[in-house]
Amino acid sequence: MIDGLGVEARIAEGELVAGAIVLLKVLDAEGSTRLTLASSDGLGWIERVGMLRVAEATETSSLAAPADD
């Protein structure tokens, strides 16, 4: 599913992915959209919440950053 959307994560050589949270925008048969969230097995609620907060802060700061001229 995700490969077909062109989603790509960049990690350094030697790093290992230990967990993931995926937020999906889903289009249903009637044309309505919804969001759904999935996470990898083994992530506790505190890790999921922390990952979401870091993602929110990162996304928010990148939207507020001034454009380079």
Sequence ranges of the domains in the chain: 20-64
Task: Check: CB of residue 53 under 8 Å from CB of residue 45.
Answer: no
- Would you state the pLDDT for residue 66? 67
CA distance 49 to 51: 5
Higher pLDDT, 62 or 3: 3
Whether 69 has a pLDDT exceeding 60, the answer reads no
Give the pLDDT confidence of 2-52 residue by residue, as tens digits. Answer: 888 999 889 999 999 999 999 999 999 999 999 999 999 999 999 999 999
Contact (Cβ atoms closer than 8 angstroms) between residue 20 and residue 52: no
Q: What is the pLDDT of residue 68?
A: 64
- The structure's pTM equals 0.73
